[in-house]
Amino acid sequence: MTDLTSMTIAEAKAGLASKSFTSLELTDAHLAAIEAARSLNAFVLETPDQARAMARAIDAKIAKGEGGPLAGIPLGIKDLFATKDVRTTACSKILGNFVPPYESTVTSQLWRDGAVMLGKLNNDEFAMGSSNETSCFGPVVNPWRREGSNTTLVPGGSSGGSASAVAALLCMGATATDTGGSIRQPAAFTATVGVKPTYGRCSRWGIVAFASSLDQAGPIARTTRDAAILMRSMAGHDPKDTTSVDRAVPDYEAAIGKSVKGMKIGIPKEYRLDGMPAEIEKLWAEGAAWLKAAGAELVEVSLPHTKYALPAYYIVAPAEASSNLARYDGVRYGLRVPGRSIGELYENTRAEGFGDEVRRRVMIGTYVLSAGYYDAYYLRAQKVRTLIKKDFEDCFAKGVSAILTPATPSAAFGVGEKGGADPVEMYLNDIFTVTVNMAGLPGIAVPAGKDAQGLPLGLQLIGRPFDEETLFSLGEVVEQAAGRFTPQRWW
């Protein structure tokens, strides 16, 4: 039998439909791959019994010709998504052994469409990070290594488990979330495709909140087509999330292979950073050339407030986080560390339950929201946010269909290499991605090449609100030109 784990979702769908294999066989192959890859630390909880039960049930449906669009496809779920009766921790000690009595909307839509859950995936604690080193379950390992080296590399974050598992063929696709880059940056570090949808496209209900005005769920997959297939099931209006938008969900897969002839693609001059590695410059120019060859017109555009995006993000996101994380008090969820008074119980629980990065964010957030500083920091950051959004609006008003940028300023780095002495060093990873969250726009990261050490690099395409389809069409052009990249198996 061909290796069942190296297929794309599109190929597996065809194989299941033609009865070349069953979902149970497909699921078993992935469960075996997960077991053999525990050294990657991508899964924080494997759910083999549940996976097999779901696969059997869906096989019965497929036999009756009833399977949905994801019938029998085994997926991994980021541990930020609440899964009914299955432990959900956001990879924080403070949630302990929390078992939600409900299912997130996004995951329930995946199960509605026939997908199979393999388990829960590692992430940075409360999705705060760019390397998946802040998880209470320990760092995730990137299946990619530098040529001729066995240095352990990070997969990016916060959806590091999702990216690592998809790249290492442990699941066919995964859910992820993106507040400032957490889908696109790990996708770029692992040669996978990651989509951060327009704010409001996917329901946030049942996803552990980090920064509610920025958080969005999206897929990580091995091809643009697979990401489009997953997106269709994940997207949609949900009355339980008032920020989700009531718009029909298009058939995203139909956008794959559509001509991009005549599209105007913006190249923002402010993204050309001083000291940017030559390899990234080259990749960006190559991407532009591929789109041009496919008939698109490249135009230079200006997003003048870009330089304020990262500082403004690191005010808005911690402010919202400090408010969202107030609910973890030792009374309602997970960990409880007793004290002599209720106040002491809160303090003890929060001191014990939150990791360093989360505490840093809570402190920054509380500070910028405090009476004396609210106007100087929070309010000003919100104004900057409006200006960032306006930059994009001005650009799209000139007929630009999408904007092409690098996804990250570097390839994957070593575990422990960044942010130890200065957290800003870690924050800089998101320099090209945070603007998109600040403006609520959709973005896709597509593998586009490798650096001199053989590590994958990605390009980002930023679209108009609710125009993910254009991103899928353009992403496919990049994928066709660049080819696909798979890590050498060493684990």
Catalytic site residue from 158, 164, 203, 473: 158
129 or 155: whose CB is closer to ligand GLN? Answer: 129
Q: How far is the CB of 77 from ligand GLN (least distance, A)?
A: 16
Question: Known catalytic residue: 158?
Answer: yes
Residues 296-315 that bind ligand GLN (CB under 6 A): none
Cα–Cα distance, 440 to 315 (Å, whole number): 16
Residues in the chain: 491
Which of 55, 128, 174, 438 is the binder for ligand GLN (CB under 6 A)?
Answer: 128
Residues 196-215 that bind ligand GLN (CB under 6 A): 210
Which of 92, 179, 223, 410 is the binder for ligand GLN (CB under 6 A)?
Answer: 179
Select the span of 13-21, 70-78, 176-184, 378-386 touching ligand GLN (CB under 6 A).
176-184
Which of 110, 220, 301, 317 is the binder for ligand GLN (CB under 6 A)?
Answer: 317
268 is an interface residue for ligand GLN by CB under 6 A: no
Catalytic site residue from 182, 203, 233, 244: 182
* Residue span 145-164 as binding mask against ligand GLN, x where in contact by CB under 6 A, dash where not: -------------x------
Residue located via tokens 């039960």: 53
135 is an interface residue for ligand GLN by CB under 6 A: no
What is the rounded radius of gyration, in angstroms, for the C-alpha atoms of the chain? 21
Instruction: Report how many residues bind ligand GLN under the rule CB under 6 A.
Output: 13
129 is an interface residue for ligand GLN by CB under 6 A: yes
1 or 421: whose CB is closer to ligand GLN? Answer: 421
Cα–Cα distance, 432 to 160 (Å, whole number): 18
* Residue span 398-417 as binding mask against ligand GLN, x where in contact by CB under 6 A, dash where not: --------------------
Catalytic site residue from 13, 78, 120, 418: 78
In sequence order, which residues have a C-beta less than 8 Å from that of residue 312 and are 6 or more positions away? Answer: 381, 384, 385, 388, 438
- Residue 178's DSSP bridge partners are 216
The tokens of 255 are what? 């956008």
* Residue span 425-454 as binding mask against ligand GLN, x where in contact by CB under 6 A, dash where not: -----x------------------------
Q: What is the 3-state secondary structure (H, E, C) of 259-297?
A: CCCCCEEEEEHHHCCCCCCHHHHHHHHHHHHHHHHCCCE
CB 154 within 8 A of CB 139: yes
Question: Known catalytic residue: 182?
Answer: yes
Is the Cα dihedral 27, 32, 37, 41 positive or negative?
Answer: positive
Question: Known catalytic residue: 6?
Answer: no
280 or 309: whose CB is closer to ligand GLN? Answer: 309
Which of 130, 216, 322, 460 is the binder for ligand GLN (CB under 6 A)?
Answer: 130
What residues act catalytically?
78, 158, 182
Contact residues: ligand GLN, CB under 6 A: 127-130, 158, 178-182, 210, 317, 430
